[in-house]
Structures are given as structure tokens and as C-alpha cells.
Amino acid sequence: MLAEMTIVTWLKIVAIGLPLLAALTIWRGGERFHSAQRWLVTITFGLIALIALTLFFLDKQYACILMFGRQNCLFDGLASLSLVLLSLLFARSSVLLRGEDKGSDYILMLLLSSAWAGMGLVENLLVFLIFLNLFFFVFNRWLNRRGLKWRFLVLRDDYKDAPK
């Protein structure tokens, strides 16, 4: 089983699992290594960007991104390139992040990156749905931390408006 897995599969596993491992490290470490959190998050995002760029070139997605027919790999190429851009954006944000509760912001960014990688790089529908749920959970938590409410499926009670 392990011998059959290619380097591309291992890179995908590392791209998904590395941010989860870093988020777990920050969560379990707490305030013990508060000064090293920023460096851990920045290095993690840098590694994820390098892994996604390696996936783009190693899997030859640059050659088939604009082809037609069965050889087209547009979504795979866009997934790896968007993961590169997201990781670089989060690395920059983690360096510039100020505030009191930076640890939870770091964890949310790492979980969002892992969910993004999981949605874009996997080829299994069940795993895609798991990471889609993780993405919506983290995005909802991020909106709640900013004081915004995300309510698009709320049913109104119209009976309170009409007198009976």
C-alpha cells in the first residue's frame, strides 16, 4: 500500500496535514511558546506554498491546464495555484498580525488553509465533503470573531406580523 503511493500523493497528504499539525501544536502549546507561534505559522505557510508549487510543476499541470478533452486538468491547476496564493497571503497576514488573541487567529488561518487544500487536492468525494464542512465551520467562526452574522437560510416567522 505505501509502496504504491507516489510522491504526488505524499505531497498532497503533507499539504493537507501540515497546517492541521501546526494548528494542533499552537492549540496544545498555548502560551508556553507565544513568541515562536508567528515563526511556526509563517514557516508552515511557506512550506505549503512550496509544496503546492511543486505539485503544479511535478504533476505537469502547467502543460494540461488549457487543453481540451480528457487531458484537461484546469481544476487541479487552479487548486494548486490558489493554494500557493492563499498560503502566501496568510504568511504575510501572520507576520503583520497584531492583537491580543493571535493564537486563535493563527489556528483559524491554518485550518482554513488545510480545508482549502483538502477541497482542491483530493480526488475522493467523501473527503471533499469533510473538508468543505471544515471550510464552512472555520469561515463561520472567522465571521463571528469579526462580529458578522452569516444567515442565509433563516426562515422568517410571518405569523407574528399578521393580527389574528
Alpha helices in 30-124 (DSSP H): 37-58, 61-64, 74-96, 102-121
> The C-alpha cell of 60 is what?
505537469
Residue 1 lies in a domain: no
Of 44, 129, 121, 131, residue with least CA distance to 79: 121
At 60 the pLDDT is 72
At 97 the pLDDT is 80
At 140 the pLDDT is 85
Residue 144 lies in a domain: yes
| Cβ atoms 116, 142 nearer than 8 A | no
Domain count along the chain: 1
Residue 75 lies in a domain: yes
Identity (one letter) of the amino acid at 54? Answer: T
At 2 the pLDDT is 57
> The C-alpha cell of 80 is what?
494548486
Tell me the pLDDT of the chain (164 aa) as tens digits.
555 578 888 888 999 999 999 999 998 887 777 778 888 999 999 999 999 999 888 877 666 666 666 666 667 778 888 899 999 999 998 888 876 678 788 899 999 999 999 988 888 889 889 999 999 889 888 888 877 766 655 555 666 655 55
Residue 2 lies in a domain: no
Residue 64 lies in a domain: yes
At 66 the pLDDT is 65
Domain that holds residue 93: 7-160
At 16 the pLDDT is 93
